[in-house]
Structure formats: structure tokens, C-alpha cells
Amino acid sequence: MDILPLQAGDWAFVGTNWWILMQGLYVTVLLTVGSLLLGFLAGFPGGAIEVYGRGPLRSVVRGVGVLLRGTPIVVLIVLFFFGVQWPDIGAVPLGGLLPLPAFEINGQALLASTAALGLRSAAYQSQVFRGAIRSIDEGQLEAARSVGLSKLEAVRHVVVPQALRRSIPGFQNEFTIVLKDTSIAFAVGLAELLTRGFELFTQPAGQTAVVEIILTVSAIYFVLTFLTNRTLDRVENRFAIPTGE
Amino acid sequence: MARLLEFDDVHQAFGDENVLRGISFGMDRTDVEVVIGPSGSGKSTLLRCVNRLTEFDAGDIRLNGESVTAMDVDALRRRVGMVFQGFNLFAHRTGRGNVTLGLTEVRDIPSGEARRIADENLARVGLSGQADSYPAELSGGQKQRVGIARALAMEPELLLFDEPTSALDPELIGEVLEVMRDLAEEGMTMLVVSHEMGFARSVADTVTFLDDGIVAERGPPEQLFEHPERDRTREFLGELDT
């Protein structure tokens, strides 16, 4: 087994085409942020319903969660792309605001990928929040009720602020997973980072630069993960509840 | 005129276990009533029935003549404060923040005014210097005093204390009892579940001995402690002495 040698000429090819990878990165960031946001907006109430809800609503939320967590993400993305009739938004223009040539992406692939990654993330985020909510001592809720807050007010003012803080480490994992899994939108041809890398090394001029391109793409994912985790560490410390130690 | 608080044949069961089996007694404004009894006798449950943290099965509890079950539960809890054995402070809020939550959210007091009221009540329990401290930065006795300030700030007609010193190290019990003693002197109506017989003896107007879900004996402290009528009371007090 030999490792292919890296070539200065191939690195130069990556260098001259950097903006194509940056366009891919733009889509990757867009997809990550959209999916995490959808995951949060659906996952946080989902976790709360699993703890405080009852009856059919709770059963439905649990069931959907189990289903989403039990399906491979590539299957979900393909299913959402081919199996859902998305509104025809055509090609979405991007890049106008950046020092990048403007470009277009497939709107339906973007919608399907965001929905699949977002709902799958919601299913995982709901478990992060469920655990965090459960970890808040029941007595605090009772104390809030004892001064006359309604259950909803007590949850909002006492449980949620503490549960959100305790969710940050779990959310960091979730962020890392979603960021890297955006690369699976490759399967439906969405022009995210990996897809743009693929486009580069399948060009005639890029055929010897496969390893260089993949290494560059990997490094971009790594830097993004690293920086965001550091930022979330800071957020966690900034909002940590003083312990007196 | 109706009594401030009246228990009328209150029953409560958890599954097969009858925890309260017909409790009846009443108290008036400024009364301090201490409920004693062995663990499992229903003391805490009785207290929790007053503000309906536990919903009782049968009988009635009346506040100023009005059945608590007929009241809006949040309105009832505004009028009846509670202090918990485990403090139950909001961990993410400072001492002041613990007190202001009920003021701003329940009494709709603007935040500046709520801060002033909170600081006033923290001063009342001797914690002027700790308003900005978080619960994890406070000693057990200080935590419980924040708990008392939080209840006091709502200006309740009645304060319930559920074993307020049971979770405290012995050297911290005194500071909490001191605050409770002051409140009693100021005329606060208090229903206290406690194992602190010294406090019951010196502060209570009436002591109720609860045993196995019924009021086994009830009377002024000197009578109950010095000349108990029932063998069961004598036995219980004897166990405490040894």
C-alpha cells in the first residue's frame, strides 16, 4: 500500500480554485445553521413535551423521535428529496454579499437537506434537552409554584434557563455531528463543500489533485468545528452559575 | 368572624396508605402553631394540603372561611407562603433574584420596586450583604433565610414551614430559628412542622401532636410538653429526650 505523493502543482490547483470551495463552505454553513435552528425550534419543545406532556401528544413526539434517530441520515435526505413535493423555488442565488462570484444552488435540494438534517437533529436535541430538564431538581419548580407562578411560568423562568445552560455540552456534540453530516447532501447534488470538492477533482485539470482537495475540505471542516466548539465553551463559561468554588 | 385557617375532617391517601385520617383544628391571625410527630405521621402532607401542592381527598380546608379548593390555586399560593426543608432556591438566580421572581411575575411589581422590596426582606432575615450571592455560594442557614425572605416578600397571610431546619448542620439551626422567632414576635401567622422542641416550647401558641394521620393531642406547649394527657404523646416525647 502506497500513499499517493502530494504535488506542488496540485496544491496550486487548489489555490487557484479556492473560491469554488468557499462557495461550497457558504452552502455548508447555511445548511448547518438552518438545520441546527430547525432542530432547536422543534427539539426544545419536543424535549419539554417528553418531560411534561401526556397522552397522545407525548406518544407521537416520542414515536417520531425514535423513527428519526433510527434512520440513516443519507436515507432521510434521499427520502425527503425524492419523496416530498417541495414548492418549486427554482435556483437560489447566493454570494452577492461576499467577495465571491455569485452562484446558484438547487432550491429543492436545499429544502430537502435542511428538513432532513433539521428534523433528525431535532430528534437528538430533544434528548439533550429532556435530560437537562430532568436534571433540574423538582423542588425548584415546586417553590416557584408555591409563590403563585403557573406551571408554564415556573418552567419558563426556573427550569428553562437552567436546562439551556446544561444543554450546551450536548449541543456541542450535536453541532459537530450536523456540520459533518451536511456533506451527505452530496447524495442529492446540493452544492455544499464536499460536492464542490468533488466537482473540482472530476475536472480534467484536477484529476491528480484528489488527495489535496479532500485534505483541504477536511481541514475546513476541522477548523469550523474547532472554532465553534471554542466559542460554545466560552458561552458556557460566560453563563455558568457561580458555585462559590 | 371566620378563623384564618381551618382544617375540617381532612383525609388524604396515597394508594392504600391513609396519610391523613380526619384532621380538624383551626388557627387565628398571629397564631404560631407547631406540628410535631414521628416521621410518616402526615405532618408534611398536612402542610402541603394547605397550598394544594398536594390535593386532599376529602374534608375541607378554609382560609378566612373560604374553601381552598374553591380558590384559583395560584391566587391561593400568593396568600400562603411556604418554606421548604430542602430550601428549593432557584439555583440560577441570586439571593435577590430568588425574591424578585414572585414579585415581578405574580404581583406584577416593576423590577426596580421589586429589587427594593427584595432587599428589604433580605435585610429582615439578616442577609443584606448576600443579595448578590448565588445559592451555591451561601451556607445552609443563609439559603434557608433567603427561602424565608422569598416567601415573606409576597406578603402572605400565612406562612407554612416544612421542617425548615432539618437539612441544616446543627450550628446553623440557630440563625434560622432566630429569624422565625422574630417573625412570630412581629405577629406573622405561622404553621410550622418541626422537630425543634425548644422552638415549639418557647414560640408556639399551640402544639399539635400528629400520629398516624390523626391529631393525637393538641394544646399549649407547657401543657403538651409538661403534662401530656395521652400515653402516645408521652412515649413520643420520651423518645426525643433519650
Q: What band does A7 get if pLDDT is binned at 50, 70 and 90?
A: confident
A89 within some domain: yes
Chain B closest CA to A238's CA: distance in Å? 13
Alpha carbons within 13 A on the beta-carbon side of A87: 2
Sign of the alpha-carbon dihedral angle for B142, B147, B152, B158: negative
What is the nearest CA distance from B75 to chain A, expressed in angstroms? 6
- List, for residues B7-50, the tens digit of each pLDDT value: 999 999 999 899 999 999 999 999 999 999 998 889 999 999 99
Q: How much is the ipTM here?
A: 0.92
Is the pLDDT confidence value at A225 over 90?
yes
Say whether pLDDT at A178 is over 90: yes
Contacts of B133 in chain A (CB under 8 A): 242, 244
Say if A156 falls within a structural domain.
yes
Query: Are B198 and B205 in contact, with CB atoms under 8 Å apart?
Result: no
Contacts of B86 in chain A (CB under 8 A): 137, 139
CB-CB under 8 Å, A242 with B134: yes
Which stretch of DSSP H or E encloses residue B4? none
For residue A107, tell me if it sits in a domain: yes
Counting the structural domains of chain A, the total is 1
Contacts of B206 (CB under 8 A, 6+ apart): B27, B31, B32, B33, B34, B218, B219, B220, B221
Mind telling me how many Å the CA of A146 is from chain B's nearest CA? Answer: 6
- CB-CB under 8 Å, A241 with B88: no
* Contact state of A165 with B92 under an 8 Å Cβ cutoff: yes
Would you say residue A197 lies in a domain?
no
Q: Does B242 have pLDDT greater than 60?
A: no
For the segment B137-196, what is each residue's pLDDT rounded down to a tens digit?
Answer: 999 999 999 999 999 999 999 999 999 999 999 999 999 999 999 999 999 999 999 999
pLDDT for residue A98 is more than 70:
no
Q: Which residues sit opposite B179 in a β-bridge?
A: none
pLDDT on residue A5 = 74
Rounded mean pLDDT, B228-239 = 92
DSSP secondary structure letters along B52-91: TSS--SEEEEEETTEEGGGS-HHHHHHHEEEE-TT----T
CA pair distance A242, B175, nearest whole angstrom: 24
Enter the pTM of the model.
0.88
What is the structure's pLDDT at A6?
A: 79
The whole-number pLDDT of residue A126 equals 97
Question: Is A138 a residue whose pLDDT tops 80?
Answer: yes
The mean pLDDT of A140-163, rounded to a whole number, is 95
Render pLDDT for B116-140 as a digit per residue (tens, 0 to 9).
999 999 999 999 999 999 999 999 9
**Strand pairing report for B206-211 and B32-36:** parallel
For residue B104, the SS3 value is helix
**Out of A140, A145, A165, closest to residue B90 by CB:** A140
Residue A244 has pLDDT above 60, yes or no: yes
Task: Answer yes or no: do A150 and B154 touch at CB < 8 A.
Answer: no
Q: Which residues of B touch A161 (CB under 8 A)?
A: 92
Between CA A43 and CA A61 the distance in angstroms is 10
Judged against a pLDDT cut of 90, whether residue A34 lies above it is answered with: yes
> Nearest C-alpha of chain B: how many angstroms from A242?
6
- Kindly determine whether residue A149 and residue B102, on different chains, have CB atoms separated by under 8 Å: yes
Kindly list the residues from chain B whose CB atom is less than 8 angstroms away from the CB atom of residue A148.
Answer: 74-75, 77-78, 102, 106, 154
Asked, for residue A226, whether it belongs to a domain, the answer is no
Residues from chain A that touch B89, judged by Cβ atoms under 8 A, are 140, 143
- Classify residue A60: in a domain, yes or no: yes
What percent of chain A is predicted at pLDDT more than 90? 77
Q: For residue B235, give every residue at least 6 positions away whose Cβ sits within 8 Å of its Cβ, in sequence order, or none.
A: none
Task: Please indicate whether, in this complex, the C-beta atoms of A242 and B137 are within 8 angstroms of each other.
Answer: yes
C-beta separation of B95 from B122 below 8 A: yes
Print the SS3 string covering A48-100.
HHHHHCCHHHHHHHHHHHHHHHCCCHHHHHHHHHHHCCCCCCCEEEECCCCCC
DSSP conformation letters of chain A: --PPPP-HHHHHHHHHTHHHHHHHHHHHHHHHHHHHHHHHHHHHHHHHHHHH--HHHHHHHHHHHHHHHTS-HHHHHHHHHHHS------EEEE-TTTTS--EEEEHHHHHHHHHHHHHHHHHHHHHHHHHHHHTS-HHHHHHHHHTT--HHHHIIIIIHHHHHHHHHHHHHHHHHHHHHHGGGGGGGT--SHHHHHHHHHTSGGGTT-HHHHHHHHHHHHHHHHHHHHHHHHHHHHHTPPP---
Minimum CA–CA partner of B82 in chain A: A146
For all residues of chain A together, what is the average pLDDT?
92
Does the pLDDT at position A96 exceed 90? no
Q: What pLDDT is attached to residue B241?
A: 66
A7 within a domain of the structure (yes/no):
no
Residue A101, in any domain of the structure: yes
Residue from the list A157, A165, A242 with its beta carbon closest to the beta carbon of B101: A157
Q: What is the pLDDT of residue B3?
A: 94
pLDDT tens for B210-222 read 999 999 999 999 9
**In terms of residue numbers, what domain contains A156?**
26-192
Confidence band (pLDDT; 50, 70, 90) for A8? Answer: confident
Please give the pLDDT value at position A100. Answer: 79
Residues of A in Cβ contact (< 8 Å) with B71: none
Best mutation target, B45, B92, B100, to test chain A (most A CBs within 10 A)? B92
Domain CATH number, residue A163: 1.10.3720.10
A156 chain-B contacts, CB cut-off 8 A = none
